[in-house]
Structure 1
Amino acid sequence: MQEFSRRRQQLISSMQAGIAVIPTAPEVTRNRDSHYPYRFDSYFYYLTGFKEPEAVLVLIAGPEPKSILFCRDKDVDREIWDGFRYGPEAAKTEFGFDEAYSITQLDEQLPKLMANQPELFFSLGSDAGWDAKVSTWLNAVKAQARTGVQAPAKLIDVRQPLDAMRLLKSPYEVEVMRRSASIAASAHNRAMQAVIPGKWEYEIEAEFLHAFYSQGAQAPAYTSIVAGGANACTLHYNANNAQLQVGELLLIDAGCELDGYASDITRTFPVSGRFSGPQKDLYELVLASQAAAIASVSPQHHWNAPHEAALDVLVDGFIHYGLCQGSRDAVLETGSYRQFYMHRTGHWLGLDVHDAGEYKTADGDWVMLQSGNMLTVEPGCYVRPADNVPEHFWNIGIRIEDDVLVTANGHEVITSAAVKTVDDIEALMRQHA
């Protein structure tokens, strides 16, 4: 809990004065009496470590800083049906808050807590229901103006300071993400050994779910992409219901969530256990582009440097294999490479798969990478049938993605246990055959 307490203190210090209101995510009904599996709000969890629904964190900065939790009451009867609840008293002790109240007191307490605070930190616009609640509380404070009570004069998006904090992973966060990466990497290796022609994409997805849960992950970090053959050319394919065929490649983009933190790995490999010539050509091109991108991950480079490095390698390869025509500069200028590579090379990673944090400064420059950043590096190549494309490349979709920590002197690939060279993939698949 010291980690979460430190974060609250850091946010309070950055606020200097005022009040912050950070609610967790609501429960969402799936159908009738059934809910989707509950997942807390990332900002709320980042500051509390508290996983129950119906909770709100309030932070007060200034001469007498304090942290206050509003949560569900202890209710033994409801626990029979829904499971354990901390209740305010236990939550205060276990999670290190200065005060804790029943969530039923929220409407009564918030106008009092907002009174005479100079600034309100809140994520306005992220949820219409909470926007309405905050507006009601502010109006209740303003109604006391004749008695000398003042409402916050300034509204600040609390996500701005939190995004900057979340970009730099603490040693605790890095350790959790290494464990998440290790589980996901073993799942990818397991999948390579499970694949044979005739199996179905959903059968391979089930291998991932087994590997995730059996090793302690609480959930997939996102809906797994298990895309055989032409399906791999659809970037966000997730039907996962096609049968795997001889001679196809299988692209799998899958990661798990452990203690709130995501891993995100993509591997592409041959269903039959051996790459064909054209498959190998394009696969090794994407692998080389990823190596160039990863080499550009360090505090000496800006955010876009890995993408630029990957793109240079890919474009040269596209020209070499007849996918693009002209010089590298011409292909880059016209953007003709986007027919085969239409996404960027990575994103921040953390509590969210596409994690919080800016990619550009207020001046419009790319942010410089810093020790403690965690990002993905994921170039790809997707060749749909077209008149301007050599037929032997049709329906080849390849993406190779790893999770990379920026260190003081360079980088660490925390997902390196998932095999990815042609020789290693084919050797691993032969073990199963």
Structure 2
Amino acid sequence: MSSIIPVKEFAERRRKLMERMAPDSIAIIPAAPERVRNRDVLHPFRQDSDFQYLTGFGEPEAVLALIPGREYGESVLFCKEKDPEKELWDGFLVGPEGAIEGYGLDDAFPVSDIDDILPGMIEGRSRVYYPLGKDQGFDTRVMDWVKVLRSKVKSGAHPPGEFVSLEHLLHDLRLYKSANEIKAMARAGEISAEAHVRAMKRARKGGNEYNLEAELIHTFMEHGARSTAYPSIVGSGANGCILHYIENTAPLHEGDLVLIDAGCEVECYASDITRTFPVSGKFSPEQRAVYDVVLESQYAAIDAVRPGNHWNHPHEAALRVLTAGLIDLGILTGTVDDAIASEAFKPFFMHRTGHWLGLDVHDVGDYKVGEAWRLLEPGMVLTVEPGLYIAPNNTDVDEKWRGIGIRIEDDVVVTKEGCRVLTNGVPKTVDEIEALMAG
């Protein structure tokens, strides 16, 4: 059960979603299935983000049904029954009664009875909102219920007329974070910032990337954040030029930079921070020159995060600074406009400047409305993460630049006045980083 998001907020989310659903419809949202790691060992369970958003219920083998206008309650949960013997082996189960009392559901049934109960709830509903394709096994089960209803049409059964994805309605709600959601994300940002600081302080030549990954995990767990939001990236030297490097097994060498992209989850809400720092504690002149370009581009992008600007404004702002910097360093030639138009920057900056952030690290929500970039509005949370990556085998640039990979990333919430950075707890300027590592 969430300690930050109150039960009434989950209920309000369900109410808002049902307001957007068609009359005489039903929404069926299954929990995440458990995943086998190998043989009889399971991966640690992590709830499906849509299911989590609507219930806060953390168990597998559960299904939420939202039925607007149902006489005996519109929010219905199917979950595992209380079972003393099973709980002896695997731990506490909430049970149907506990789901009603503790999670604010209107009605609840044993999930073992779902084949007998849910088809009757579907019957007479013209539209079924259901996330087809997320869980093949459950897809088959839902289709079987509908087939049975269709086979009984001549006997007076009324099967649904259409299946519709729930994602557009639900994900638009998830895009706007409440004060409590921002509180959870700020806490995740605080813990993650502390983890980055700890890793910076313990970086030494002769160490290994996995030693720094261990420091991150230590800090996450120490503060009760038992899950990373995504696999941690700890890339030293040229590994920092690999965008999604997760091997984290290379030794740390004097003179190299280390790029760490890592964040934890708090109550399933993600943080996402990237910092780049020198193993030795001192940037070389070339490393500093590239770093300052990336930092200035991030400042420009953060300044562009404000209501009324569209989604692409921060990216455009960062891109101009990065491209100008590459020209000033002699890595590119010509004008900024020409270099952007020809995409001459692409070998050095090949990704977007950010993404939505929330229950998923790459969170849901459309970036465009129709053909136009979406306008930024208060409550939206996004990352700002420009970078420059000069591949070690790029013979088109002077050797002194090769193998330098730098990214700087923070989590930002749009406010009425502009934006607020949620991840300020970790140093970012060259002087701040060198001072921290010297201490």
Per-residue CA shift, 1:362-393, capped at 9, x if unaligned? Answer: x2111001100000000000001322111111
2:224 corresponds to: 216
- Higher deviation after alignment, 342-351 or 383-392: 383-392
How does 1:148-187 map onto structure 2 within 5 Å?
Answer: 148-187=156-195
Q: Is the 8 Å Cα contact of residues 300 and 318 (structure 2) preserved in structure 1? A: yes
Partner of 2:48: 41
Q: 2: distance between equivalents of 1:188 and 1:381?
A: 20
Write out aligned runs for 1:227-266 (5 A). Answer: 227-266=235-274
* Equivalent position of 1:393 in the other structure: 401
Work out the number of aligned pairs and report it: 430
SS in 1 for 2:396: coil
* Alignment-mate amino acid for residue 176 of structure 2: L
Q: Distance in 2 between matches of 1:252 and 1:166?
A: 28
CA displacement, residues 145-192 of structure 1 (integer Å, 9 cap, x when unaligned):
123321121222111111000000011101111101000011111111
**Using the alignment, how far apart are the partners of 1:414 and 1:408 within structure 2?**
16
- Return the offset for 1:143: 2.0
- Asked if the contact 1:348/1:375 (under 8 Å) is kept, the reply is yes
Q: Which amino acid aligns with 1:389?
A: V
Q: Quick one: distance in 1 between partners of 2:235 and 2:118?
A: 49
Amino acid corresponding to residue 424 of structure 1 in structure 2: E
Residue 51 in structure 1 maps to residue 42 in structure 2 = no
Aligned to 1:132: 140
CA contact (8 A) 2:22 2:127 kept: no
Which whole-Å CA distance do the structure 2 matches of 1:414 and 1:170 have between them?
14
Is 1:11 matched with 2:11?
no
Alpha-carbon separation, structure 2, partners of 1:228 and 1:364: 40
The amino acid across from 2:295 in the alignment is L
Superposition TM-score, scaled by structure 1 size: 0.98
Counterpart residue number, 1:349: 357
Q: Are the aligned partners of 1:218 and 1:259 in contact in 2 as well (CA < 8 Å)? A: no
**2: CA distance, partners of 1:348 / 1:141:** 40
For structure 2, the residue ranges without an aligned partner over 5 or more in a row are: 1-6
Q: Is the 8 A contact 1:114 1:141 kept in 2?
A: no
Quote the offset at 1:16 in angstroms.
4.1
Structure 2 residue 384 is the aligned partner of structure 1 residue 377? yes
Return the offset for 1:126: 2.2
Q: Distance in 2 between matches of 1:421 and 1:166?
A: 33
Identical counterparts, % of pairs: 49
Q: CA deviation at 1:63?
A: 6.4
1:423 aligns with 431
Partner amino acid, structure 1, of 2:316: E
Q: Which amino acid aligns with 1:6?
A: E
| Residues in 2 aligned to 1:79 and 1:131: alpha-carbon distance in whole angstroms | 29
**Cα distance between partner residues in 2 of 1:124 and 1:16:** 18
For 2:93 and 2:134, the matched residues in 1 are separated by: 27
Q: Structure 1, unaligned stretches of length 5 or more?
A: none
- Shift in Å, 1:62: 3.3
Separation in structure 2 between the aligned mates of residue 154 and residue 323 of structure 1, nearest angstrom: 56
Within 1, Cα distance between the matches of 2:69 and 2:107? 16
AA in 2 matched with 1:59: L
- Give the equivalent residue in structure 2 for 1:143: 151
Equivalent residue, structure 1, for 2:302: 294
**What letter matches 2:102 in structure 1?**
E
Q: Which residue does 1:81 correspond to in 2?
A: 89
CA distance in structure 2 between the aligned counterparts of 1:350 and 1:391, rounded to whole angstroms: 40
Inter-partner Cα distance in structure 2 for 1:303 and 1:110: 41
**CA RMSD between the two structures:** 1.0
